Structure 1
Amino acid sequence: MMNVNQIKIALLLLFVPMLAIGQLKELSLFENLVDKTWCIEGEWKSGTAFKQEVRMKYDLQGTLVVVETKGFVDEEQTELGNRNHGIRQYDGSSKTIKFWEFDAFGNLTKGTVFAEDKNIVYQYYYEGEMLTEMWEYVDDSTYNFKIGSYIDGRWSDVYIDSVFKEKK
């Protein structure tokens, strides 16, 4: 027969994974992106080159999505390196997914993330302007990618429009 401490331990072992899975459910919009490498090349509206390689993984028992981004790390946009380190986390008090993106230039971008069907939508302020970044689902290996002004479900201005492809 089990004593009280053994019962407590058994219950703890049973419910702790359930808590982690419950948290993971809130981050499930990232499921198709996690543990894959995503590559993109394009051009900003200004004509400047854009190139990134993004890798996402779950961390801390599924309560975070950690994002590592390689991209241009110099103003001339000739040198590729570790450009961004990002975190996505579900905030139970506001019932939103929040993100923080730290870059190689000492900047921090923060905002919220939500799903529109299979699309992943980031919203944040950048230099005083509310921007939207969308990963628009095409198939499990392809996302159309846009950054711009997205109001009431419509793009009023687009700064970049390109495609993320899964690196095989």
Structure 2
Amino acid sequence: MVELTKSPENGYVRIMRIQMFCKPFEELSLLELMNIYRLRQYVFVVEQNSIYEDVDGYDPGCHHLMAMDGDELIGYTRLLPPGLKTEHASIGRVVTRSTHRGRGIGIDLMHASIEWVEELFAPEAIQLQAQSYLEEFYNKFRFERVGPDYMFENILHVDMIRTQNEQQP
């Protein structure tokens, strides 16, 4: 599917070929689950050379947002309800396939993730554990640093939070 779209926020026109689907774990097909794990492992373990256990046991309690280009999974986020891993709802495992970076998919993923988290969990705040070099990216979505940088799986991270008491940009 190819569409021309114009964003009311920034006036940009771009060709979109992606569709987004959000599903709870139990509704994922085996193929979808395999593709999610393959993408996460390729980016977080292989590309970033960070050996860690990606399948951490939280997936069954989460919703999974998939950005698809036809049959190809090109982006993904994991949406965690309040209390599952952190006090507030959170967005995690934010990933875009390397062949599709620089096309605004990460921006679209974050907008969609925030909308889905708000719809699913109506949270007071949304948390995320960001790789430190992406702090400015997440600032664009009103996430703010809430502590110092720290090492997690050999990559510098920072905890961030977005409070829901303000109007969305």
Higher strand share: 1
Larger Rg: 1
TM-score, with length taken from structure 1: 0.36
TM-score by length of 2: 0.35
1 or 2, which has the higher helix percentage? 2
